[in-house]
Structure 1
Amino acid sequence: MNISVLGCGRWGSFLAWYANKVGHKVTLWGRSDSSNLKELKLKRSNEYLRLPESIELTDSLEKAIYFGDIIIISISAQKLREFCKQLRENSITDNKKFILCMKGLESSSGKRLSQVFKEEMGAMVSSAVWLGPGHVQDFVQGIPNCMVIGSEDIEFTKVIVNALNSELIRFYYGQDLIGNEIGAATKNVIGIAAGMLDGLGYSSLKGALMARGTREISRLVRAMGGNDITIYGLSHLGDYEATLFSKNSHNRQFGEDFAKGLRFEKLAEGVATIEALQKLSSIYNIDLPICKALYEVIFNKKNIEKELLSLFLRPVKFEF
């Protein structure tokens, strides 16, 4: 099978590496001005991995779309809508199948990425999401993990799982698109909170954060029409170890650096997701205290220690 990966950052380069590893012909696309693509063309490697010579590198979007039977998109979540318009205008996407490999919500609307994709590309274009735990640094060392593929078409889901399943990544069928997408996006938000606790020296509170975080997000998923149990699966709780505790987590590191007054230079998708969650909280009339506290700290410059500790020192109440 021919697979094209659009986006050549940390995750995109890994997806190309992985698709090649499990036996597919792969083209990896990046913008002509992308420093990531320039580095890969020059050295066939980046700080995370080395790409085999059999993977073709290109800055031609039209060529990449034409090549792939399956098109994997791995870009910043906030750039998806604009990118879809570029796809629609410059490429023939008939009979192509797309997989979204980003974790986030559109900050301006609170919409899930599959919703954004469908709005821009049309309901007839097949799409799925690839979610769940795992870091490039672990995968390239042969450390396995479990992930989720989900779509509104179970037969399409099965095709993708059959094409990509391996001993390195075992895939599960995602049956609840709302729960999986909200779960995957919001685990980054909980990861930021965990990093802030690390930065403040309150790492022992991360257990309480995990317990309350899953409850908070499960209420939101239920209000949105999803299955609240999904939050206790791979896309959210199953990704906590990789996000709340790992040194490789951008979101956790952003939170730690923020608490210490340091500048974090890499992408932390959870920041934009916090903005989206404020909108969803209002739309669905759901109290999201952890998300609200992070919003106050990051966007309104409230005191970090005061806001976070207040989450765990609220008035006495029943747990469930």
Structure 2
Amino acid sequence: MCSKIAFLGGGSFGTALSIMLAKKGVLAKIWDRNKDVVDDINIKKENIRYLHGAVIPVGVEAFTDIKEVVQDSEYIVLAVPSHVVRNLCKDIREIVSENQIIISIAKGIEAGSGKRLSQVISEELPNNSVVILSGPSHAEEVAQDIPTTVVVASEKMEYAKKVQDLFMTNKFRVYTNEDIIGVEIGGAVKNIIALAAGVSDGIGYGDNTKAALMTRGMSEIVRIGTKLGGKKETFAGLTGIGDLIVTCTSMHSRNRRAGILIGKGSTAEEATREIGMVVEGIKACKAFYELKEKLGISMPITDVLYKVIFEGKEPKYGVYELMTRDKKGEEY
């Protein structure tokens, strides 16, 4: 295979995917604005800042010139945090061609508008096909060839199948799903629940509490996901319960680690600085809080977490409020 793929953003997951693809013969170019990251990849053969310990193989090169990375690539992966996606698309609008497939690996929605990332990309790059890649896939494990499964979704499934073929290996299994709304919403909201699970850990609560948060959190994912047009069965799959499990239980998870720090008394800003990378759950919490208020959807965990992060509510008192809400049936 001699496909060419561009990764815009030198973060952990994009780097891990480039390593995996290079091993199967794909030529991968990484763009990052940080020259130190680029030099580490090219000279030290390691992304020291974002994926320490993973060896960069032959077939992966990094650049600070975005045009050099984008040109001649068949696929362009937007490997940046969700809040950067629109501006990045604007930056490359004049240098992409219509036949290049855009792949988004971020998990979130746009603050303010509440738009899914595929919608944001399509607004800025209307002539390009967009594919979402999502699922339970920690970068650290993908880079180590630990068996992983993900989902690709698109409004044009022939392009999702092309991406499936491109990424599929004997250690990285890729499924397709026509429900792009469900895939995107599941991947975004689970970050909120993972952050809450981390807060629970930081407070010192146990497995019972985490099981409750994950299960009731799943109800919130389904509630808003179906309201927005997603299919209920999608949330029982890899980008729903699958991603929720891995993000709530692993110390690879930035959201869980940040939540632990918040549960121990750190502010969201202090936790983000300690993690050293974007914590998508914090941004998602604000975006989905605003969206659920607008739509009139009950999301009590999201509601309490928002008040902990943005209004200074004591985490333990937030849990007390959740536990003492009005009685109701489990289906609600």
1:316 matched to 2:295: no
Q: Are residues 1:243 and 2:244 paired?
A: no
Matched AA of 1:317: K
d(CA) in 1 for partners of 2:31, 2:243? 27
Deviation, structure 1 residue 241: 2.6
2:240 maps to amino acid: H
Give 2:218's match in structure 1, choosing from 211, 214, 218.
214
Give distance in 2, aligned partners of 1:235 and 1:35: 33
What is the match of residue 28 of structure 1?
Answer: 30
Across the two proteins, how many residue pairs are aligned to each other? 317
From 196, 201, 205, give the equivalent of 2:204: 201
Matched, 1:86 2:91: yes
My pick for the range that moved more, 225-234 or 196-205, is 225-234
C-alpha deviation, 1:317, in angstroms:
1.4
Structure 1 34/283 Cα, relative in aligned 2: closer, same or farther at 3 Å?
farther
Query: Secondary structure at the residue paired with 1:212?
Result: helix
| Residue of structure 2 in register with 1:56 after alignment | 61
Residues 274-300 of structure 1, C-alpha deviation per residue, up to 9 Å, x if partnerless? 111022112321111111111100001
Q: In the alignment, is the contact (CA less than 8 A) between 2:161 and 2:176 conserved in 1?
A: yes
Residue 227 in 1 paired to residue 231 in 2?
yes
Q: Distance in 2 between matches of 1:171 and 1:316?
A: 41
Give the deviation of 1:34 after TM superposition: 4.6
Q: In structure 1, what is the equivalent of residue 44 of structure 2?
A: 43
Q: Distance in 2 between matches of 1:75 and 1:119?
A: 17
CA contact (8 A) 2:5 2:27 kept: yes
Partner Cα distance (1:48, 1:238) in 2 = 26
Matching of residue 75 in structure 1 with residue 90 in structure 2: no
Q: Which of 164, 170, 173 pairs up with 2:173?
A: 170
| Structure 1 residues 94-132: Cα deviation after superposition (integer angstroms, max 9, x where no partner) | 21111001111112221111111111111x211101100
**Percentage of pairs with the same residue:** 33
Query: Structure 1 residue aligned with 2:261, among 257, 282, 302?
Result: 257
Is 1:3 aligned with 2:14?
A: no
Question: What is the alpha-carbon distance in structure 2 between the residues aligned to residue 269 and residue 13 of structure 1?
Answer: 18
Partner of 2:304: 293
**TM-score, normalising length: structure 1:** 0.95
Give the corresponding residue for 2:150: 147
1:308–1:93 distance in 2 versus 1, CA, 3 Å: farther
Contact 2:152–2:174 under 8 Å retained in 1: yes
One-letter identity of the residue aligned with 2:17:
L
Map of 1:192 onto structure 2: 195
- Summarize deviations over 1:139-182 as a string: whole Å, max 9, x none: 23332011000100111111110121111111111221111101
Gaps (5+ residues) in structure 1?
Answer: none
Give the superposition deviation at 1:48.
Answer: 4.1
Matched-pair contact (CA < 8 Å) for 2:42–2:61: no
Q: Distance in 1 between matches of 2:53 and 2:299?
A: 35
Which moves more between the two structures, 298-307 or 59-68? 59-68
| CA-atom RMSD in angstroms | 1.4
Report if aligned partners of 2:26, 2:59 keep a CA contact under 8 Å in 1: no
Question: Aligned partners of 1:252, 1:228: CA distance in 2, in Å?
Answer: 25
- Unpaired segments of 5 or more residues in structure 2? none
Q: Is the 8 A contact 2:74 2:100 kept in 1?
A: yes
1:12 maps to amino acid: G
Q: Is the 8 A contact 1:183 1:231 kept in 2?
A: yes
Q: Which moved more, 1:207-216 or 1:21-30?
A: 21-30
Aligned partners of 2:16 and 2:140 also within 8 Å: no
TM-score, scaled relative to structure 2: 0.92
Q: CA deviation at 1:30?
A: 1.0
Structure 1 stretch displaced more, 236-245 or 41-50: 41-50
